[in-house]
Every structure is written in structure tokens, then in C-alpha cells.
Structure 1
Amino acid sequence: MAYSKQVVDRFESVLNNPEQHAVGRFDPNDPNVATGLTGAPACGDVMKLQLKLNNDIIEDVKFKTYGCGSAIASSTMFVDMLKGKTIAEAKEIKDKDIAAALELPAIKLHCSVLAEESIHRAIADWEDKLRHRQHNQIYKEV
């Protein structure tokens, strides 16, 4: 199995300059940060995605991924796909979009699936936070 040029280039670039590729984390106590964590026990890959939002817009993205080159490349791809998008647009990003952009071999498609799942879990976290805020606002008004 050979990795595509896109996977190799992204993986090597992350190794050489992680900050440039949004490797890191935001303050988890920041009310404008949503987190999605996904793991695949079968292969050991783990992705943690954090979105920094301004209302409905994803202003910034950070990630930490432990896994193979395809998992790390998939993470950098979702960073590129998410920045500046609305939550509705982010929900439309699919694993096949990530896999196609990276030309992932069939044996590594689980990496793009993990990436999509991380996006959906971060969005679910954000939506939970919004519901909690709305609940608290209603409670204050009563």
C-alpha cells in the first residue's frame, strides 16, 4: 500500500511545522469552544477536534491526532475544510470528501470516517452548549 502524494506531503508538513497546521488545543473552558473526540480501537487512531466559534461561524480549528499518516493527513484536511464555514456547512462535510481529496487507499478509509465523526461530535458538543445557554436564559427570565 502506497500513500498518495497528498497524504505524504501533509504528514511531513505537520511533522516539520505543527503550529502551521493547527495542531494544539484551545482552552476547554472557553464557552466558544466545542470539542469532538473519536477513536478507533481496531487501529488505535484517536482524533480530538476543537472548534472555536463565533455564533454560527467556525473561526478557528485545532486538533491532536494520534495515529498513522493517513489519520494525521485527514485531520489537516478537515481543518482546511472547516475554517470559515457555518455549522450547517460543516455538517455537509463527509468522509468521502476527505478520502477523495487525499486519495486514501481503501485500507485507510477508516481515517476519513474518524475525521467526519470528530466533526459531528464537535458540532453536537456545540449544539449541547447552545441548548444549555438557552435553557439558562429562559430560567433567568422566569
Structure 2
Amino acid sequence: MYSDVVMDHFKNPRNVGEIPDADGVGEVGNPACGDIMAFYIKVNNNVLEDVKFKTFGCGAAIAVSSMVSEMAKGKTLDEAMQISNKSVIDALNGLPKKKHHCSNLGADALHRAIEDYRSKQQGKIAERPLDGPEVCSCPVCDVNDPEEAPYCSSVCERTTGK
């Protein structure tokens, strides 16, 4: 179900923690599945010198956060902004479809930290964007209604065997 890379990053997450004097902080959360991620960055000459994270969530969310931190460290800000959910999934050698939202959260948290840093450099306070949808998709039929999803999942399991 999970690749060896995912399991390694879950069991041995890299860059866990907080940077007390972070240059930028980005937080995201998905209330429907309970994942909450915060990324902290330290920037030197437009390069991410240090990246740390704190994640409350499932094993996939922890693995995603660890991988995103590894992918971002040492990159320029522009390069780090190119980290996408697909590139994170690819780096982890795949994730189950029902866990793809975790890769979005990881990339989004990093991007928000960079946006926070850039706003501070311009003397502005970064506006906190609204979090993404407050639901997780059914892995079988892509229902996006939090009220229907538990029912949908059980129906999908019975009808499709998945």
C-alpha cells in the first residue's frame, strides 16, 4: 500500500521541529481529515538554508512533510515554489489516491512560508489564504461531501470491493 520511501520518511522523518526565529512560516490544515502542517524557513541569499516542519496527521502527512522539507532545503525560493503535489508524490514513489490531498497540504504549507517571507521583505503582513476544501475525496468515486463520504466509502467498498 505504501512505498518503502513513504515508510522511511514516516518512521524517520527529516527536519522535524520549529525554527524559533524563522524568516517565514506557513500553516495549512484540512479539518475533514485532521491533517495540520506548519513549515518554518530560514533564507540566506534567496536560498532556503533551513526548512523545518511540525505536522499533526496521519503517516502519509508526516512522510509528505518530511519529503517536502528535503526537496526544498538548499533550493532557491523560486525553485521551491515549483514543488508541486505531483513532484512530492513522485519523490515518495507514489501515494494511495485517498492520500493525495496530503501532498497538496505539504506543498501549500511550504509555499505559504515562502509567501510569508516575501511579504515581510516588502514590509507587509502576508494575508492568510483560505484553506482548501474542508473535505477529503472518496478514493473510489470522488465524492466531496463530508456528510456523504463515510456512507459513500462503505457503499463503494460493498459495490466495488475496494
Q: Normalization by structure 2: what TM-score?
A: 0.73
Q: Is residue 18 of structure 2 the alignment partner of residue 33 of structure 1?
A: no
Give 1:18's aligned residue. Answer: none
Structure 2, unpaired ranges of 5+: 125-162
2:86 to 92, 96, 100: 96
- SS of alignment partner, residue 98 of structure 1: helix
- SS of alignment partner, residue 132 of structure 1: coil
Cα shift at 1:55: 2.9
Larger Cα-atom Rg: 2
Cα shift at 1:53: 0.6
Q: Equivalents in 1 of 2:27, 2:19: separation in Å?
A: 14
Cα shift at 1:120: 1.2
Q: Is residue 62 of structure 2 the alignment partner of residue 66 of structure 1?
A: no
> How many residue pairs were aligned?
123
State the Cα deviation string for residues 50-77 of structure 1 (Å, max 9, x = none): 0111131100111000101110000110
State the Cα deviation string for residues 47-105 of structure 1 (Å, max 9, x = none): 00001111311001110001011100001101111111111101111111001221111
Structure 1, unpaired ranges of 5+: 15-20, 134-142
Runs of 4+ in 1 over 4 A off after TM superposition: none
Q: Is residue 14 of structure 2 the alignment partner of residue 24 of structure 1?
A: no
1:112 to 84, 95, 103: 103
2:114 to 116, 120, 123: 123
Normalized per residue, the structure richer in helix is: 1
1:53 to 43, 49, 53: 43
Q: Equivalents in 2 of 1:86, 1:13: separation in Å?
A: 25
Over the residues paired in the alignment, what is the CA RMSD in angstroms?
1.2
Give 2:76's aligned residue. Answer: 86
Q: Is residue 43 of structure 2 the alignment partner of residue 44 of structure 1?
A: no
Task: Give the letter for the 1:34 counterpart.
Answer: G
Q: Equivalents in 1 of 2:102, 2:111: separation in Å?
A: 14
Q: Among the aligned pairs, what percent are the same residue?
A: 47
Q: Which is bigger in relative contact order (C-alpha 8 A, separation at least 6)?
A: 1
